[in-house]
Amino acid sequence: MSDVTTSEGLEWATARGMGALAEKMGIEFTEFSVERSVGTMPVEGNTQPVGLVHGGAYVVLGESLGSMSANLHAGPGRLAVGVDINATHTRSATSGVVTGVCTPIHLGRSITVHEIVISDDQGQRCSTIRITNLIKDAPKAQ
């Protein structure tokens, strides 16, 4: 499905839904294709007690982008599921919105690897996330 445009990808992602956790965290996709996906998340409501974005919140944004991108690549009748994720946090956002940009490192028939760079409103990198997804046949409806 590498020929999917951003508008087609956004339609697909909207129809599929991002899941309850991503919705609770205020994550929104602004670009969505196999080659590049972008999403935002508000800092407010996703912080540690000291007012910094929680590291787990960065990971939720990264996994939302990476897993959804892998599922778009997998195509109809296939399902991508996360098997590995890691994150390195290098800066802390304290206000505004953070933006995640997801790009593929490897797009195979059975494995995908994506890198997600999350930046603050000033364009400073806050976290770098790498996710690996396994692609398999989707369960048959009963």
The pLDDT assigned to 142 comes to: 65
Q: How far apart are CA 139 and CA 51, in angstroms?
A: 42
66, 81 contact by CB (below 8 A): no
CATH number listed for the domain at residues 6-137: 3.10.129.10
Instruction: Provide the annotated active-site residues.
Output: 63
Residue pLDDT tens, the chain, 142 long:
556 677 888 888 888 888 899 999 999 999 999 999 999 999 999 999 999 999 999 999 999 999 999 999 999 999 999 999 999 999 999 999 999 999 999 999 999 999 999 999 999 999 999 999 999 998 887 6
Q: Is the dihedral of CA 97, 115, 129, 81 positive or negative?
A: positive
Residue boundaries of the structural domains of the chain: 6-137
- Report which DSSP code applies to 53: B
pLDDT of 107: 98
Written in H, E and C, the secondary structure of 72-141 is HHHCCCEEEEEEEEEEEECCCCCCCEEEEEEEEEEECCCEEEEEEEEECCCCCEEEEEEEEEEEEECCCC
Sheet hosting strand 28-32, strand order edge to edge:
28-32, 37-42, 97-107, 111-119, 125-137, 78-89
